[in-house]
Amino acid sequence: MRLSHFVALAAATSVAACQQPDQDWANKAALQAGAPLENAAALREAQTARFPETSEQRLLVEATQVLQDLGFTIEESAPRYGVLAGSKDRDATEAGQVVGQVALTVGLALLGVRYNPVYDTDQVIRATLTTQPLGTHDSQLRVSFERIVTTNQGLSRVERLTEAEFSSGFFERVRAGLARAA
**How confident is the model over 118-158, as pLDDT tens digits?**
888 899 999 999 999 988 889 999 999 999 999 988 888 99
Residue 111 has pLDDT above 80, yes or no: yes
Q: State the average pLDDT over residues 85-89.
A: 94
Residue 29 has pLDDT above 60, yes or no: no
CA distances from 168 to 50, 73, 142, 172 (A): 12, 21, 11, 6
Residue 10 has pLDDT above 50, yes or no: no
The C-alpha atoms of residue 153 and residue 130 are separated, in whole angstroms, by: 35
The mean predicted confidence, pLDDT, of the chain is 80
pLDDT of residue 36: 53
Residue 177 has pLDDT above 90, yes or no: yes
The C-alpha atoms of residue 38 and residue 30 are separated, in whole angstroms, by: 9
Q: Are 98 and 106 in contact (CB under 8 A)?
A: no
| Least-confidence region, from 21-25, 52-56, 111-115 | 21-25
The C-alpha atoms of residue 182 and residue 31 are separated, in whole angstroms, by: 38
pLDDT of residue 126: 95
Q: State the average pLDDT over residues 3-12.
A: 41
Among residues of the chain, what percentage have pLDDT more than 90? 37
- Reported as a pLDDT band with limits 50, 70 and 90, residue 101 is confident
pLDDT of residue 90: 85
pLDDT in tens, 37-58: 558 888 888 899 999 999 899 9
Q: What is the pTM of this model?
A: 0.69
- The answer for residues whose C-beta is within 8 angstroms of residue 81's C-beta and 6 or more apart is none
pLDDT of residue 35: 46
